[in-house]
Structure 1
Amino acid sequence: MYKLANRRSLYYATALKAELSGLQSHGGGRHHDYNHNLETAKQNAQIVVIGAGLAGLSAAQHLLQHGFNRTLVLEATERYGGRVNSQRFGDTFCELGAKWVNIDGSHDSMYELLRNAEGLTKKLKPPTHARYVLAESQVSGEQLKVPRRMVELIDMLFRELCRGLKVRDRVKTGGDLQSLDNVMSYFQSESERLIGTMFKEPSEQLMARDIFQSLFKDFSSILGCCLEYVNIQHVTTCPLQQESHPIYVPSGLDNIVEQLTNDLDVGQLQMGKPVGQIQWRTMSEPQSVGCMDGSLYQADHIICTLPLGVLKTFAPVLFKPTLPLDKLQAIQNLGFGNPVKIYLSYKRPISRWLKSNLRPLTKDLTVNPNGNQNAIRSWTQQVVEVSQLPSSQHVLEIRVGGGYYDEIEKLPDAKLLEQITSLLRQCLANPRVPYPQAMLRSTWNSSACYLGGRPYFSVHSSARDVHKLAAPLGHVAPTLLFAGDATALQGFGTIDGARSSGIREAQRIIDYYNKKLSV
């Protein structure tokens, strides 16, 4: 029913104007006419949602629940869920994208969706204490221990930095604003001040500096980028709230996505439909969405939830007419990272050689075969944590921060396995750590339908760019709307932000019809 041949119901704006005229000319039966015409408007309005991630599916569900039954979702891939991607691997389910759901009582949050899902097993993330280890020195053969009390103190101090409290103090006093150029400058400046104040012994200062660097990498692993690229406003506007006990789904987070598709009838979710052109009207021109397979879909309203990486690459040619300059500029200004997930499956239980989660403290110096020390950079130096999945006896998760994301995606499997096994053997001082029997890793950056992962405030962007990207287009009616985690300031870059943005744009369409037909 969405094909271009069905022109009678195309562009409901004309019919809507006629019904509004009818409403204004009838006095006594106005309430009855309003209800009748509102239901008619809902039944006839054609809405195309581009993308079946959390934003797109949340928008579609919200519209269908409010009677907009001619809602269609177009998904480029053969899988819905976007960057929620659960894969069966080894003896458990692994999350290549989002993993945890923060406990949040707000309406329409992911937590509410998870809590209300029937028959779905939910568990709190068990409290874990990773053990910081210095990789065994190839020179001395010694392995130094990292005091637990020092780790806990520095972790507390770093959490304060992540909340942006020191930034506000610095701006108020006007001192040393140069270090606020980017997040890494801020972290390094503040950590050096804290180290100098709290640790007097040079050996303690050196170890404290290593622990801070590990926490910096932890922060960057969440965004999937080097912190030198991140605007300090990212910390003050949308600080990362690290929950102590978030919830996870042992059988895969994509079970939540299944809940969002329950209201979609067969045909309302079209898979394998990469979009080639979005024709949106600025006045009364025809509006449609054309797919790469030649199919064309009419639309009174289009909700675009394309990932930021895709918009950065294709926005100048994807939309017709071209998007306004301020929106194109906002798309280019915002940054997007590429968080990397690596999972390793072992034949025998991991507990035989791994007793606790590990946080390697590695140096930037490695030794070449000739025995000379050179600053040879390696992606394994950016490993944040090696952890056993809570629902598994055989699967390890490797988190990486600080960069190298593109390099890791391109690295051959054999080379990656060799290097990570070497790191584990060094950290555990155990040459018998086995090679894994299988590996699973994310490839968001090299996927043409994503071209990256989580958005962030680059040094060239600010909260204004988020608002510009989220602003709907259309002179009278909201004809082209934008949703996704890069359009939500509250929950920016998170699954909650993606979900709330989809509901926000769906409600914008609902409010438009309610307002117009109540005149």
Structure 2
Amino acid sequence: MDSISKPVSVIIIGAGISGISAAKTLNDNGIRDILILEGTSRIGGRMKKVNFGGQVVELGANWLHAGEGSHCSSPLLEAANKIKLNTILSDYSHLASHVYKQEGGLYEENEVEMAMDKALTIQEFGAKLSETNQETNQEDMSILDMQRLYNWMPTNPLEKLIDYYYYDYEDGEPPEATSLKHTLPRREFNDFGDAQNFIVDPRGFESLVHLLGKQFLTYTNEVVNDNRVKLNQVVSEIYYTDNGVTIKTEDELIYEAKVCIVSVSLGVLQNNLIKFNPELPGWKRRAICEFSIASFTKIFLKFPYAFWPTGPGTEFFLYAHERRGYYPIWKHYENEMPESNILMVMTSGEESMRIEQQSDEETKIEAMEVLRKIYGDGVPEAEDIFVSRWNSNKFYKGAFSNWPPNYTTQQHAQLQAPIGPVYFTGEHTSLEHFGCVEGAYYAGCTTGKEVIKYLQQGV
């Protein structure tokens, strides 16, 4: 195969925050002959905005961790403050006053508070058990196993909903699919704070990726125009030897480099959307296949007017259904975008995948049925709907990673480990902050430093 351009030192596949932070790390250390290949028409990855109902809403990452007493400040929150990105602290107060039954009507506030207190007590038990198991080198277990050990299982719709709120809402997958050891206590809350800053800025969450990019790439009118960034370049094959890598795209274009950084999502790797030649070793493929990427869906609905409660303590409301994760967590945008008349409902797991496979009209019918059970038959018809579909998008094949039970730290080291001149990065490779944007950022920086060492060795 003939290269279409001069070989470079490093090719980065993927222009999400991991790929851009890796590229910046290389550039800052004098390695400037790099090439970033991005399959879509934009940079930002799963930090992605869309115009809906006259407003800008986030399809992917939406919150930044914050809070007093945390071990350190989120680097992305610091970046957001630097460019004065508009954020509003999400208000979960009085949530117990806004939990609705399957067929309509509110649960008594005391009943919900008791269910939440019980869930938090069990979570504290789980956090202590996790720490004890790690200190004594015990095997991992699932969150569900921990709950059984406590002799508790959610049985009724309210208990299932509260359990969903504390686990699936954070992890994207249910307790049986989630590691105790690597979930509790929640490291991102301890490190960055458990307060949630909601991004509500027309520039979008992706502007933080651009902020990194502007420090080493050329821009014109807020659009990257650096010849080291190639958009709409869908990588299909990676050929590698000890002497370097050759990258082939779906358009039959060829690129060459000494080193390649693969900064695509775990879902892309699991679905073999990029072929490696030679094939990755069995231990590497197993490490990729046995980690988990969650399906998480946001559904946005635009109405002619707001028919839901507004004001302090009303931002979120919950819906309890016998089917776990059936349109469970709702949020209005009146605090951030007054008179926008937009609701967002979030779901994950099997319900998320089911919703992705049906039409938007079918989803709207289901969502409207739920809203009319909550607020009555007078609820007006939604004027518009938008459904995120991360799982079926070939550039992502999932929303964010989740650590499954009994997946070892050794396997995770193998997940992150390079194969010759081919390096791997992304939020899924972060040992401590997988599944969140901070993990993606740090992973890219770490991989960039590892590649620098590799090149300095002259291998």
The 1:229/1:438 distance shift into structure 2, 3 A limit, reads: same
Q: Quick check: which one's helix share is greater?
A: 1
Give runs of aligned pairs for residues 120-139 of structure 1, distance below 5 A. Answer: 120-130=85-95, 131-135=97-101, 137=103
Q: Secondary structure at the match of 1:280?
A: strand
Name the CA distance, whole Å, in 2 between partners of 1:108 and 1:122. 14
User: Is the 2:172–2:296 contact (alpha carbons within 8 Å) kept by the matching residues of 1?
Assistant: yes
Match of 1:337 in 2: 294
Name the CA distance, whole Å, in 1 between partners of 2:135 and 2:209. 44
Larger Rg: 1
Name the CA distance, whole Å, in 1 between partners of 2:396 and 2:281. 23
- Paired letter, 2:267: G
- 1:150-199 Cα distance to aligned partner (Å, 9 max, x none): 2552354255256x223445788999x9xx75222323553728x9xxxx
How far residue 398 of structure 1 moved from its aligned partner, in angstroms, is 0.5
Match of 1:201 in 2: none
Specify which of 286, 303, 316 is matched with residue 346 of structure 1: 303
Name the CA distance, whole Å, in 1 between partners of 2:237 and 2:134. 45
Aligned residues between the structures: 435
Give runs of aligned pairs for residues 292-307 of structure 1, distance below 5 A. Answer: 292-307=250-265
Match of 2:448 in 1: 506
Name the CA distance, whole Å, in 2 between partners of 1:91 and 1:105. 39
How far residue 411 of structure 1 moved from its aligned partner, in angstroms, is 1.9
Structure 1 residue 440 corresponds to structure 2 residue 386: yes
Name the CA distance, whole Å, in 2 between partners of 1:113 and 1:121. 12
Name the CA distance, whole Å, in 2 between partners of 1:173 and 1:512. 36
Q: Secondary structure at the match of 1:101?
A: strand
Match of 1:454 in 2: 400
User: Is the 1:77–1:273 contact (alpha carbons within 8 Å) kept by the matching residues of 2?
Assistant: yes
TM-score (norm 2): 0.84
The 1:247/1:292 distance shift into structure 2, 3 A limit, reads: same
The 1:268/1:107 distance shift into structure 2, 3 A limit, reads: farther
Gaps of 5+ in 1: 11-44, 196-205, 365-376
Structure 1 residue 408 corresponds to structure 2 residue 340: no
- Paired letter, 2:14: G
Structure 1 residue 358 corresponds to structure 2 residue 304: no
Name the CA distance, whole Å, in 1 between partners of 2:363 and 2:299. 10
Match of 1:472 in 2: 418
Name the CA distance, whole Å, in 2 between partners of 1:278 and 1:455. 23
Aligned-pair identity (%): 21
Give runs of aligned pairs for residues 355-394 of structure 1, distance below 5 A. Answer: 356=314, 357-362=316-321, 364=322, 382-389=326-333, 390-392=335-337, 393=339, 394=341
Name the CA distance, whole Å, in 1 between partners of 2:235 and 2:33. 19
Name the CA distance, whole Å, in 2 between partners of 1:353 and 1:125. 14
Q: Is the deviation greater in 211-220 or in 430-439?
A: 211-220
Name the CA distance, whole Å, in 2 between partners of 1:402 and 1:311. 19
Match of 1:71 in 2: 34
Name the CA distance, whole Å, in 2 between partners of 1:100 and 1:110. 10
Match of 2:121 in 1: 157
TM-score (norm 1): 0.75
- 1:387-410 Cα distance to aligned partner (Å, 9 max, x none): 112312311110224532211111
How far residue 494 of structure 1 moved from its aligned partner, in angstroms, is 1.1
User: Is the 2:360–2:386 contact (alpha carbons within 8 Å) kept by the matching residues of 1?
Assistant: no
User: Is the 2:116–2:162 contact (alpha carbons within 8 Å) kept by the matching residues of 1?
Assistant: no
Q: Quick check: which one's strand share is greater?
A: 2
The 1:290/1:173 distance shift into structure 2, 3 A limit, reads: closer
Name the CA distance, whole Å, in 1 between partners of 2:74 and 2:239. 31
User: Is the 1:77–1:272 contact (alpha carbons within 8 Å) kept by the matching residues of 2?
Assistant: yes
Name the CA distance, whole Å, in 2 between partners of 1:172 and 1:75. 43
Match of 2:237 in 1: 277
- Paired letter, 2:428: A
How far residue 435 of structure 1 moved from its aligned partner, in angstroms, is 1.9
- Paired letter, 1:264: L
Name the CA distance, whole Å, in 2 between partners of 1:225 and 1:76. 27
Name the CA distance, whole Å, in 2 between partners of 1:276 and 1:174. 41
User: Is the 1:187–1:216 contact (alpha carbons within 8 Å) kept by the matching residues of 2?
Assistant: no
The 1:350/1:53 distance shift into structure 2, 3 A limit, reads: farther
The 1:276/1:237 distance shift into structure 2, 3 A limit, reads: farther
Match of 2:222 in 1: none
- Paired letter, 2:331: S
The 1:278/1:346 distance shift into structure 2, 3 A limit, reads: same
Match of 2:11 in 1: 48
- 1:396-444 Cα distance to aligned partner (Å, 9 max, x none): 110224532211111222221122122122223x221222111111101
Name the CA distance, whole Å, in 2 between partners of 1:150 and 1:342. 29
How far residue 233 of structure 1 moved from its aligned partner, in angstroms, is 3.1
Q: Is the deviation greater in 328-337 or in 399-408?
A: 399-408
Q: Is the deviation greater in 381-390 or in 241-250?
A: 241-250
Q: CA RMSD in A?
A: 3.2
Name the CA distance, whole Å, in 1 between partners of 2:125 and 2:389. 31
The 1:161/1:435 distance shift into structure 2, 3 A limit, reads: farther
Gaps of 5+ in 2: 219-225
Name the CA distance, whole Å, in 2 between partners of 1:46 and 1:347. 54
- 1:261-289 Cα distance to aligned partner (Å, 9 max, x none): 2122322111111101111213x3x5211
- Paired letter, 1:334: F
